[in-house]
Structure 1
Amino acid sequence: LTTEAEAREARYAFLAEVKASVSTGVVLTGHTADDQAETVLFRAVRGSGPDGLVGIRPAREDGVERPLLRVWRTDIETYAMRVGLPFREDPSNRDTSWTRNRIRNVILPALEEAVPGAKSSLARLAVLSEMQREALEGLSSLALGQCAVRGSAVEGSFVLDLAVLSAWPDAVIAQVLREAGRRLGLALGSGAVERTLRLIRQGRDGASVDLAGRHAATRSSGALRLGPTPLPAATEGPGAGPRVVIPAAGETGQAQWSAGAGLRRVRWGPCRRASPEGPIVWSEGQGEEARLTPGPPPGEPALKDADAAAVLSAAGLTFPLELRTRKPGDRMEWTGHDRRLKKIMTETGVPSFDRDTTPVLADALGSVLWIPGLTASGHGAETVGPGRGPSSQPAPDWFCVTLSRLEGEAEP
């Protein structure tokens, strides 16, 4: 063993083997308040934040507990000698070639002489840091819930609203980044967190910084994406994503869509208004639960933010329709003008890292009719989603396409 870390891991591996062999529930170690003071001082001079200054935890997730962590070594030795309890001191603890031993045998005694009570203060700092860490964790959990546009370990990435995130102090943002990283299986070091904080506060649109394990933070159109780099093969370049074909106006059907923001269900078919002022429902085959307008009756869940629907005039459609990702040269009638799809996505704030995975609905001629949850073309399409619905004007032949999160999908 060539480092203190390797020796520590070897000790815990041995204890884990012993614990497994005797089928005991816990392993107790003899860490004392002196060990705590040494650890806090060591981490402080290395520039650790609140997590590091917590020092040695009273318990580990693997069943190791430290019941003597608030008791000083001299008090334990005095008690052992008084009751005749034999104990052994590891002679390697006196070897000052190891950093920990130099702190224990040289630096801390000198510090205690210069500043009486220094060891007690360092141990108390660990307790105060634990309180601060708990407060930060609570605030960061609230902040992550507020700013997470979408994301989970299942999806493999997080997308955060920059306006909401940047309103929090840097200490909370740093904890949000660490927590998001932890959920993605990443241990973000102080360097990665500092780089990402600079990206959030000062970065230009389209800029990115490396995190860890081939992951990056990318800033675009008011959003911050934490996820793998390069992007998965299915999202490399326009037109490389999945596609769902809707064959004819009179047909109903459903399929799954998987690109970008996780797994979604696509449904399509003729639709109608249940009454002159009532909700739009499927005409047949989809079930009355498929209400497309907000404000469902009691017993039905409200539309989730990710749900969206298009209500199209069937008479003006050229089938088959296709739900797909964008292709080079895609255009769409928007605000009364024929516009490039890339320009529309830029102006409506679709982040650059989402543009190749955002679904679009196109007709057989290649004209884009709808960007789910964002906008519809002038081809008789009306976007339906949370907080908005189609006009109450009757339409003789409507065709609906919906995109919604599958039940049970992981939330941020």
Structure 2
Amino acid sequence: MARGSRGSERDLVARFGECLTRLALGDGSSRVLVAVSGGLDSMVLLHLLRFRSSLAPSAIVAAHLDHAMRPESDVDRRWLAGVCRAWGVPIHHERLERSPSGESDARRARYRFLHEVASQQGASVILTAHHADDQAETVLFRMLRGTGIHGLSGIPERSASGVLRPLLSFWRRELEQYARASALRWRTDPTNRSLHPARNQIRHRLLPGVERGFAPAARRKLVELAAEAADVERALAQQVRAAEIAVVTRDGDAFVLARARLLRYDSATASRLLRALLRRFGTVLSRAGTRSAFQFITDASSGREFSLAEGVVMRVEFDHVRLERMASATSDCALMIPSPQPGTVWSGTASVGGSDYLIAAELAVGTEVDADGGAWSATLRVPETGYPLEVRGWLPGDRVRTSGGTKSLKKLFLELRIPRSRRHRLPVVADASGGILWVAGIERPLVSAPVTGAEALLLKITNA
């Protein structure tokens, strides 16, 4: 191998070892799965791992997916199996029953296959042969299609899914020099020369034309841009994690955001936080969608809703914004409480707002609200309207008894600042005429407290 600015074969092997150390593979203790196509890049990666690294031969497993997109692909598979047999590397291969519809479909199928084999073989990581030229092409491709900081950061050396790319700092010309010096052979995919895929046009026409015309260092500059963007991306990610801790609380499957705290952050951090939360629901916001969502968060009054894709809704609830997926309609199941018998405890269950509650009722001597049960336990005056009482969810038009007459439950909820998302999950106790005696979970009864020493009804409500 000729010595150049990036050094000889010895220099390349040394740099490769440093890369493995950086990726925590330097001690040779990890079992790795290597994605191999038979092309130059993956054959160089497999050779470096097998003959120029500290990895034990038994720690290396190869995997090859035949996408069934070329008639001669089975010849490649058989050739690759022979090389792996000669090198003492076990290989697992599979042929797709149906050819992928495009590059994205092929990529998804390939990574699905690789993760399945890695799991079966006990490999802790998957290694692919992406190199610096791939990085430059990816960054330029994303720039042309429109992207942000995350897209400009290009292909990561380490992915969260356990995919590592130890050749990402090497140029293709270096890999070619190593392959020729090591007398390696490889297969050439004729579709790589086609100008039909957009990426191939960038590789064979656009980038070479740019380098010949006015920017001879274009590839290197694109790789440097990716590294700088990755640094910015990591810094922003740290800010978003800190903002999530300060702004977001969980309520079941929903995210509840403190609106004033969110709006104190700069727009970049706040927007990233919102998009990150929505991605957990499978919802991806465009720039225009992000602007619309933040306009809603800034201006909307309590009770307003903003519908998003994937059945996700954003709702303003007083000082908070609630993000959740619209729940499928659930049917409440009310409970009728008959007149309890002295000395016995009557119990039953009710379903309200998708939650099941256990209700216990017994006759007792009138006292104040049971302190141990808090807002979920109450001692009520024996209702003048008689039994049965009903435990159910609140309905439009419900009114609760007060010292001054009655008050609509909706008004009571507003006065107590009970969010709409919580109102339908609170059980209410209605007397035989439909008047509300008690709303469990928020406060003691307003006028239904019994006279001390008189017979009273003790109710306790707990989660079933």
- Tell whether the structures are fold-level matches, with TM greater than 0.5: yes
Q: 1:75 aligns with which of 150, 171, 174?
A: 174
Q: In the aligned structure 1, how far is the partner of 2:268 from the partner of 2:446?
A: 47
Letter in structure 1 aligned against 2:435:
S
Give the aligned partner of residue 138 of structure 2.
Answer: 39
> What is the aligned counterpart of 1:363 among 431, 437, 445?
431
Give the equivalent residue in structure 2 for 1:151: 252
Please state how far the C-alpha of 1:135 moved relative to its aligned partner: 0.7
CA distance in 1, matches of 2:226, 2:311: 38
Give the aligned partner of residue 188 of structure 1.
Answer: 284
- 3-state DSSP of counterpart to 1:139: helix
Change (3 A) 1:398 1:222: farther
Residue 79 and residue 363 in structure 1: after superposition, are their counterparts in 2 closer, same or farther (change >3 A)? same
Matched, 1:85 2:184: yes
How far the C-alpha of 1:312 sits from its partner, in A, is 2.8
Q: What are the Cα deviations for residues 304-323 of structure 1, in whole angstroms up to 9, with x where unaligned?
A: xxxx3243343456443322
Q: Deviations over 1:36-92 (max 9, x none)?
A: 333234334444345444432345566543222233333322322333333445443
- Indicate yes or no: 2:321 matched with 1:224: yes
- Equivalent of 2:156, from 57, 60, 63? 57
Counterpart among 311, 322, 326 of residue 394 in structure 2: 326
User: SS of the counterpart of 1:213?
Assistant: helix
Within a 5 Å distance, the mapping from 1:391-410 to structure 2 comes to 399-404=457-462
Matches within 5 A, 1:141-290: 141-143=244-246, 146-148=247-249, 150-152=251-253, 157-184=254-281, 186-190=282-286, 192-229=289-326, 231-234=327-330, 241-248=332-339, 251-253=344-346, 255=348, 258-260=351-353, 262=355, 265-269=358-362, 280=370
Measure how far apart 1:362 and its partner are: 1.7
Contact 2:127 2:164 in 1 (8 A): yes
Contact 2:303 2:315 (8 Å CA) reproduced: yes
**CA separation of 1:198/1:63 partners in 2, compared to 1, >3 Å: closer, same or farther?**
same
Higher relative contact order (CA 8 A, sep 6+): 1
CA distance in 1, matches of 2:258, 2:353: 16
Size of the aligned set, in residue pairs, is 357
Query: In structure 2, do the counterparts of structure 1 residues 246 and 53 end up closer, same or farther at CA, with 3 Å as the change threshold?
Result: farther
In structure 1, C-alpha distance between the alignment counterparts of 2:291 and 2:142, rounded to whole Å: 18
CA change 1:403–1:58 in 2 (3 A) is: farther
Q: Secondary structure at the match of 1:114?
A: coil
Contact 2:355 2:425 in 1 (8 A): no
Tell me: CA distance 1:17–1:149, structure 2 relative to 1, closer, same or farther (3 Å).
closer
Q: Contact conserved, 2:248 with 2:255, CA < 8 A, in 1?
A: no
Partner residue of 1:120 out of 179, 198, 223: 223
Residue equivalent to 1:312: 379
* TM-score of the superposed pair, with normalisation by structure 1: 0.69
2:202 aligns with 103
Q: 1:252 to 1:183 in 2, by over 3 A?
A: farther
Alpha carbons 1:207, 1:218 under 8 Å: kept: yes
Report whether the alignment pairs 1:292 with 2:373.
yes
Structure with a larger share of its residues in helix: 2
Taking only aligned residues, the RMSD between alpha carbons, in angstroms, comes to 4.0
Residue of structure 2 in register with 1:388 after alignment: none
Distance 1:181 1:257 in 2: 33
Separation in structure 1 between the aligned mates of residue 148 and residue 360 of structure 2, nearest angstrom: 49
Alignment-derived partner of residue 406 in structure 2: 338
Letter paired with 1:69: L
Distance 1:119 1:205 in 2: 47
Assess, with a 3 A threshold, how the Cα gap between structure 1 residues 280 and 175 changes in structure 2: closer, same or farther. same
Distance 1:233 1:14, change over 3 A: closer
- Is the CA contact 2:413–2:423 (under 8 Å) kept in the aligned structure 1? yes
Matches within 5 A, 1:373-384: 373-381=441-449
Q: CA deviation at 1:5?
A: 1.3
Q: Is the 8 A contact 2:278 2:284 kept in 1?
A: yes
Code of the aligned partner of 1:380: S
TM-score by length of 2: 0.62
Could you say if the C-alpha distance between residues 140 and 164 of structure 1 is closer, same or farther in structure 2, counting changes exceeding 3 Å?
A: closer
How far off is 1:201 after superposition?
Answer: 1.7
Deviation at 1:381, TM superposition (A): 4.5
- What do the CA deviations read for 1:204-257 (whole angstroms, capped 9, x no partner)? 44443332223332334444343344x5222xxxxx633233334555355555
Distance 1:44 1:241, change over 3 A: farther
- Max radius of gyration: which structure? 2
Asked if 1:5 is matched to 2:101, the reply is no
Aligned amino acid, residue 242 of structure 1: C
How far is the alpha carbon of 1:343 from its aligned partner? 2.7
2:309 is paired with a residue of what secondary structure?
coil
- d(CA) in 2 for partners of 1:34 and 1:74? 9
Amino acid at match of 2:251: R
**1:128 Cα offset (Å):** 1.0
Q: CA deviation at 1:149?
A: 5.8
Q: Structure 1 vs Structure 2: percent identity of aligned residues?
A: 31
87-96 or 367-376: which moved more? 87-96
